[in-house]
Amino acid sequence: MEIKKDDYRVCYDQPTATIYCQGSLRLSGMNEYAPIVELLNNVAEQEPPVITLNLTDLEFLNSSGISLISKFVIQVRQKQTINMIVKGSNNIPWQKKSLKNLQRLMPSLILEWE
Amino acid sequence: MPPETLSTEQLNEIEQLRQEVEDLKAEKADMEVLLETTLAHADIIESELHELNQRLKLEIIERQQAQASLEASKAELQLLLKIIKEEKTDLEIILETAVEHADFIEALLHTETIRDQQTGLFNRRYLEQSLTREIKRANNNQQFLGIIMLDIDHFKQFNDNFGHEAGDLVLLKISQFIQKNIRSLDIVCRYGGEELTLIMPEASLEVTTARAEQLRQGVKQLQLDYGGQFLGQIAISLGVACFPDHGKTGTEVMQAADAALYLAKTQGRDRVCSAASLPLGTPNLTCERDVPEQLLQIFQGESTVALQSEPTVQKNMSVLFADIRDFSKLSSTMTPKDNFKFINGLFKRIEPTLIDNKGLLARYIGNAITALFSTSADDAVKAAIALLHQIAEYNLTRQRPERLPLSIDIAINTSSIILEAMGGYKQIEKTAISDAINLAAQIQKLNKYYQTPLLISQYTFFSLENPNKYATRLIDQVKISEKKEVVTVYEIFDADAPEIKQAKLATATEFEKGLLLYKIGNFSEAAKLFQYCLSQAPVDKAAQIYLSCCQQGINTTCPSYCE
């Protein structure tokens, strides 16, 4: 599963159950985010024991984007069978600020920084 | 006992008993009726009670059922409430996350729009905004506002010697140093290139100057190395000005600070100059840095393709330097305000003449004006002649005795300027332009001595399409101070009065011959030729000077500042 555009790429690596978000996600509103939502839903439906969300190469994310990720975390939490790891980068300023809130949505979520 | 023997008494008694029996019988019948009635009633009551009881029992069951179902739905509702509460919390967190995220991104983007990425200082856009704001505040509160313009000395050389990355590092370190050494209310901006601007609210000229000096000394102490290589001592030049002393608007004060910076540069760099030491009535300066920017447009306009394929582009540029002769004499009769108005008015008049001849107004400082001509040297000469005619016409309106006629001294120099493409940027070497301007300024001083209005350097002379189109003659060969080279200077006298122009033209050959003989020390032969020139044009000041020097046997005519 992969969505690739000029300035961003979202893909799912099944063997490692890792979702990669890369580049700059600045789509306008939930309508434009729909294909990404679908990809995330698919992953959640498969219910792997651990999902890793790798954001280390995601330079920019707008507000609709952070809402989308938040909703995905809730969806995973509600499954109750999936553990979740989010990987962020120390070099991307917004990540330090925004990703820690994901743990409030899912206290068992593990945040890893590199 | 026989029954006939019954006494009355006994009979009465019997009768009485009989009566009693009858009574009892009646009473019994009544009682039976009563009993029957009561029983029947009780039966009815009992059956009614029974019915009632049954109904109550039914009701109790119904109530119990209702309560059970109520309790069931209560539990259901509580569960729903719990889910809704959870979702509400989730949504609140999402909202909070999104808002915090948006705020953060917004702040980040805002920073990007007001900060210079390379140095972290505020950018020029922010400078302009805050300057307007601060000037307004200073004006309302009747406070001072200091401005420092700062430039890193020999920055280009630095880049050439150590590479651009080292240059970037120096710029960054100096920026950081300055940021650490200012007051909290000061605003430091990157004006462009290696030039920084400091806005100091509530700071007088003294405070601003002191801070500038402190920064200059501090920067000198910086020990910078790049990749293990010591980068040497770094010096900066600073110009300071103050509101309201040196201008009523932000632009005016900045221009004054910029003129002061230019002064610091021309006085040898590594120093602080104050706008207070600028010549009186320095009007409406056009900043020096605009010259390369505008020139760049000229270069790019014509040779964008060349720039892409070639690393450098070379172009001839002529500098016209004009100065009002004996301005101090003129200005002493006017108030500073009138002085300012006069110069401004004059420059406004002559500006169109320069522009019409494809000139680019570069700067005025004091009573001098500099224009650049990137088209041809001929344009510069034509502009100069047109200017002189214009001044002559203007003098016709100054016939009243208290209004002295105005004369302008003009010199033109031509130089080839190299535009280098470096690291994606195209840069013009500023020093090449300053050198060209300086030579023109030096030559210009000779005008007063020879009483000529227009002199050009040999570089301009040989750049002319056809020098014979103009009335020209060789006038001197001089060593310009600081420069070792000897520069030949030509006079252009197209704008002289017709009879003088004719006489000078007629004697030009003799004059030039005389000059050459004089230069090789043949004073007596030279004197004869100059005498001939003076017989044709007695007012020819240059011929007078040369003749006088020949007669006295002095081998230089040149005033002290040229040697």
The least confident of B61-75, B351-365, B415-429, B486-500 is: B415-429
pLDDT-derived band at B558 (thresholds 50, 70, 90) equals low
In this prediction, residue B429 carries a pLDDT of: 60
Give the range among B72-81, B96-105, B245-254, B553-562 with minimum mean pLDDT. Answer: B553-562
- What pLDDT digit, counting tens, does each position of B406-416 carry? 888 999 999 88
Task: Tell me what the mean pLDDT of segment B214-222 comes to.
Answer: 94
CATH of region B290-495: 3.30.70.1230
Facing residue for A70 by CB, picked from B93, B104, B105: B93
- In chain B, what percentage of residues exceed pLDDT 90? 39
- Above 80 in pLDDT, residue B304? no
- How are beta strands A18-25 and A8-13 bridged, if at all? antiparallel
In which region does residue B451 sit, left (phi positive, over 0), alpha (psi from -120 to 50) or beta (all else)?
left
Per-residue model confidence (pLDDT) at position B279:
58
**Cβ of B66: how many Cβ atoms within 10 Å?**
10
CATH 3.10.450.50 fits A2-113, yes or no: no
B500-508 long-range Cβ contacts below 8 angstroms, 24+ apart: B500/B537, B500/B539, B500/B540, B501/B471, B503/B536, B503/B537, B503/B540, B504/B471, B504/B473, B504/B537, B504/B540, B505/B471, B506/B536, B507/B532, B507/B533, B507/B536, B507/B537, B507/B540, B507/B543, B508/B471, B508/B472, B508/B473
Judging contacts by C-beta atoms under 8 Å, the chain B residues touching residue A93 are 104, 108
DSSP states along B145-173: EEEEEEEETTHHHHHHHH-HHHHHHHHHH
**Choice among B30-44, B280-294, B478-492, B507-521 with the minimum mean pLDDT:** B280-294
C-alpha A27/C-alpha B247 separation (Å) is 49
Confidence of residue B297 (pLDDT cuts 50, 70, 90): low
B518-521 CB contacts, 8 Å cutoff, 24+ apart: B518/B546, B518/B549, B518/B550, B518/B557, B519/B477, B521/B555
Please work out, in degrees rounded to the nearest 5, the angle formed at the alpha carbon of residue B71 by the alpha carbons of B66 and B75. Answer: 150
Residue B358, pLDDT above cutoff 60: yes
- pLDDT at residue B287 greater than cutoff 60: no
The reply to whether residue B93 touches residue A105, judged by beta carbons under 8 angstroms, is: yes
CA distances from B264 to B149, B188, B235, B277 (A): 11, 20, 12, 10
> Which sign, positive or negative, has the C-alpha torsion B41, B43, B45, B48?
negative
**What is the number of other CB atoms lying within 10 angstroms of the CB of residue B140?**
8
Distance in Å, alpha carbon of A14 to nearest chain B alpha carbon? 27
Domain residue ranges of chain A, discontinuous segments joined by +: 2-113
Residues of B whose CB is below 8 A from A62: 102, 105
Of B121-130, B281-290, B365-374, the poorest mean pLDDT is in B281-290
- What pLDDT does residue B530 have? 92
Taking only residues 16 to 75 of chain A, the set having a beta carbon closer than 8 angstroms to any beta carbon of chain B reads: 60-64, 66-67, 70-71, 74
Per-position DSSP letters for B21-76, written without gaps between them: HHHHHHHHHHHHHHHHHHHHHHHHHHHHHHHHHHHHHHHHHHHHHHHHHHHHHHHH
Pairing of strands A110-113, B425-428: unpaired
Q: Is the pLDDT of residue B307 over 60?
A: no
pLDDT of residue B105: 87
- Cβ separation of A94 and B101 shorter than 8 Å? yes
- Report whether B554 contacts B542 (CB < 8 A): no
pLDDT at residue B493, as a whole number: 92
pLDDT for A39 equals 95
Residue B310 has pLDDT above 80, yes or no: no
> What are the domain boundaries of chain B?
14-111, 124-277, 290-495, 506-563
- For residue A102, list chain B residues with Cβ-Cβ distance below 8 A: 97
In total, the C-beta contacts within 8 angstroms joining chain A to chain B are: 47
Q: What are the tens digits of pLDDT across the range B10-31?
A: 899 999 999 999 999 999 999 9
Cβ neighbours of B51 (radius 10 Å) = 10
Instruction: Dig out the tokens for B192 from the structure.
Output: 């462009």
* Nearest chain B residue to A77, by CA: B90
The answer to which of B168-172, B206-210, B424-428 has the lowest mean pLDDT is B424-428
Strand blocks (E) in B112-215? 145-152, 187-192, 195-201
Contact A66 B93 (CB under 8 A): no
Q: Residues B219-230: what's their mean pLDDT?
A: 87
Backbone angles phi, psi at B409, to 5 degrees: -100, 130
Q: Report d(CA B309, CA B548) in Å as an integer.
A: 58
Q: What is the pLDDT of residue B204?
A: 93
B107: contact with A, CB 8 A cutoff = no
Task: Pick the more confident residue, B364 or A37.
Answer: A37
Chain B nearest CA to A93, separation (Å):
9
Put simply, the answer to whether A67 touches B93 (Cβ < 8 Å) is no
Task: Give the integer Cα–Cα distance in Å for B513 and B505.
Answer: 14
A4 has a pLDDT exceeding 80: yes
Whether B282 shows a pLDDT value over 50: the answer reads: no
CATH of B124-277, picked from 3.90.25.10, 3.30.70.270, 3.40.50.1010, 3.40.50.620, is: 3.30.70.270
Whether B290-495 and B124-277 are alike in CATH topology: the answer is yes
Q: What is the mean pLDDT of chain B?
A: 83
Statement: residue B477 has pLDDT above 90: no
DSSP letter string, B380-440: HHHHHHHHHHHHHHHHHT--STTSPPP-EEEEEEEEEEEEEEETTEEEE-HHHHHHHHHHH
Judged by a CB distance cut-off of 8 A, whether residue A91 touches chain B is no
Q: How far is B78 from chain A (nearest CA, A)?
A: 19
Lowest mean pLDDT among A32-46, B179-193, B312-326: B312-326
Given this model, what pLDDT does residue B295 score? 59
Residue in A60, A62, A66 closest to B97 by CB: A66
